[in-house]
Amino acid sequence: MSSVVVINQRARSAEQKALRRQEVLRAAESYFQEVGFEAFSMAQLATKTGIAKGTLYLYFKTREEIFLTLYDQSLIRWSSAFIATLSEDMTSNAYAQSLYKTTHTDGVFLPLLIRLEHVIEHNVAIPRLIESKRVFMQQVDAVAKVTSSALALGTAQANEVVKTMGVLLIGATQTDQRPALDNEVLPADVQHLITSFSSEPLFVKNAVRIIESIRAEALSNG
């Protein structure tokens, strides 16, 4: 049974409004993980928070603005979690595996990332989009700085790795064709075929190729 988070006091001060907005976001994140992207509705979120739908729009003008805000928050969470796993002189494989696993730990990050450019960003105001892009640039810079040390790359190459990993991650996740047969006993050849369509080996294998290619290019130009 889903829980209802009732927010029934009117926010008056700027501080109260900021707290109320964060309460709405917490309820929205829980609701999103419960029903997913397509079934998420502002009307149901209003019901869950106990506030009028019209009042909800005072905090977020569109459903996609909520999604964009949740994405920004999850991006910051992921960046911090991923950076914590990095160390100097990592192999390309270890780096790629850590990136994949940390992105899949957060239940919000990937579902929103794969819809970000084609759906979410088209339905928010330009100032809000600019704000989100600045959050993105800050996080890329933070991850790239540690990536530079972990993979022994220059600043430009580390930035290239981080940005390319994002594109690859979206593609690998969208093409994950593995059926949910984790609890089934299957012949080895069939299991091997199913595993080959999983997004993880596809991502890691191609991520290593990209990292090594960028590293080789940097060495040849150096």
Domains of the chain: which residue ranges?
1-60, 65-221
pLDDT of residue 182: 57
Q: Considering the domain 65-221 in this protein, what is its CATH number?
A: 1.10.357.10
Joined tokens for residue 193: 């075929």
8-state DSSP, 119: T
State the burial class of residue 51 (Cβ atoms within 10 Å of its Cβ: 0-12, 13-18, 19+): buried
Q: What's the pLDDT score for residue 171?
A: 87
Q: With a cut of 50, list the residues of the chain below it in pLDDT.
A: 1-8, 177
Residue in the block written with tokens 């160390």 = 87
Q: How far is residue 151's CA from residue 168's CA, in Å, rounded to a whole number?
A: 18
Q: For the whole model, what pTM was predicted?
A: 0.84
> What confidence score (pLDDT) does residue 194 get?
60
At 33 the pLDDT is 94
d(CA 203, CA 208): 9
pLDDT the model gives residue 22: 92
| E strand spans, 59-112 | none
**Three-state DSSP class for 175?**
coil
Which pLDDT belongs to residue 10?
52
What is the pLDDT, as a whole number, of residue 41?
Answer: 94
Q: Determine the Cα–Cα distance for residues 103 and 200; give it in Å rounded to an integer.
A: 11
Task: Please give the DSSP secondary-structure letter assigned to residue 178.
Answer: -
CATH superfamily of 1-60: Homeodomain-like (1.10.10.60)
Closest CA to 121 of 136, 132, 134: 132
